[in-house]
Amino acid sequence: MEPGRPDDETIRTALALACRAPSVHNTQPWRWRIGDRSVHLYADDSRRLPATDPEGRDLLLSCGAALHHLRVALAALGWRSVVHRLPNPADPDHLAAVEFTRHDPTADRVALAGAIPRRRTDRRRFSSWGVPSSVLLLLEDRAAAEGAVAREATGSRERYELATAIGTAAAIQDADPAYRFETRTWSGTHADFDGVPAANAPSGLPQHGDVQLREFPGGELLDQRAGDWEDDGAALLVLGTSSDDRLSVLRAGEATSAVLLEATVAGLATTPISQPLEVAETRERVRSGVLDGALHPHIVLRVGWAPFNADEIPATPRRPLRDVIDGWEGA
């Protein structure tokens, strides 16, 4: 162990938790390199989805979520992260260099780290119970601490604009044979170390009130709720930033992780929704119709209460550490 650096087992544990971060279609598009006094995060462009994510926005968001997961894990293990984002202009895939300083873990960081293995993407209908305003304010604060704004789509106009953008984006993408092939490739019963397994994807098109979720072919997940009469009480949070450069998208990914983990600590179920932001036309509609043109949207987070009788969602698979860490014998 080098002075001022966690030992190998601590780094291995932190990276294993970082790799539990959510990613588009569970592609896990990141790579890590271990230095003498730092850990480096790289984008793995070979795992970008060209039909779903032509601009690489989802990939960058996914890597930002993994970076925040790493920070949370290290904090719970007694190390504060000093992060240098986009440190090498000559290498755009080099997203962050993370250095370390010792610190005493706080209870909230330990709780957040404990939420990492429990967080799930739940695409089922939620219960009719609303999310308390105090919890929504806490989630907004967590996003703000990461440089993003979390705005709830509350009014009928905002909900209509967001729901319409989601449906329009789905129609545009579904009309593209390359998109349909790509979605089939990353979903279904074949999923091993990545992709969306059949057990995590709803059977048929998930439509919960005015919100349509992305359909993954071969889904086997069934809704378990009190009755068809019950409305879905999910809140929809749109995460945005004042700028739309690569740094802003990366920070929005960190904010996504912060909100999802805090929601998990609170006992809430969550669903990241990226589809309306993957199409330029609908991304602009969300920006103007939901964020009043003041912010650039990056992700929609569906937050609510799972029904009491709902089974636990199984964990999605993750790639072995040896496949995502470059040249480190300890992996």
Q: Pick out the chain residues at pLDDT < 70.
A: 1-4, 188-191, 224-230, 328-331
* pLDDT for the residue 1: 43
* pLDDT for the residue 206: 87
Alpha-carbon 154 to chain mean position: 22
Q: Find, among 287, 249, 242, 324, the residue nearest to 65 by Cα.
A: 249
* pLDDT for the residue 327: 76
* pLDDT for the residue 230: 64
* pLDDT for the residue 227: 53
Q: Find, among 57, 56, 117, 55, the residue nearest to 299 by Cα.
A: 57
Determine the Cα–Cα distance for residues 179 and 175; give it in Å rounded to an integer.
8
| Per-residue pLDDT reduced to its tens digit, 179-214 | 999 999 998 655 579 999 999 988 888 888 889 999
Q: Find, among 306, 151, 309, the residue nearest to 232 by Cα.
A: 306
| Per-residue pLDDT reduced to its tens digit, 161-177 | 999 999 999 999 999 99
Distances (CA, A) of 171 to 22, 76, 145, 215, 233: 24, 43, 35, 11, 25
* pLDDT for the residue 226: 46
User: With pLDDT > 90 as the criterion, what percentage of the chain qualifies?
Assistant: 82
* pLDDT for the residue 190: 53
pTM (predicted TM-score): 0.95
Domains and CATH numbers, the chain: 8-117 (3.40.109.10), 133-304 (3.40.109.10)
Neighbours of 10 (CB within 10 A): 17
Q: Find, among 20, 42, 22, the residue nearest to 97 by Cα.
A: 42
* pLDDT for the residue 157: 93
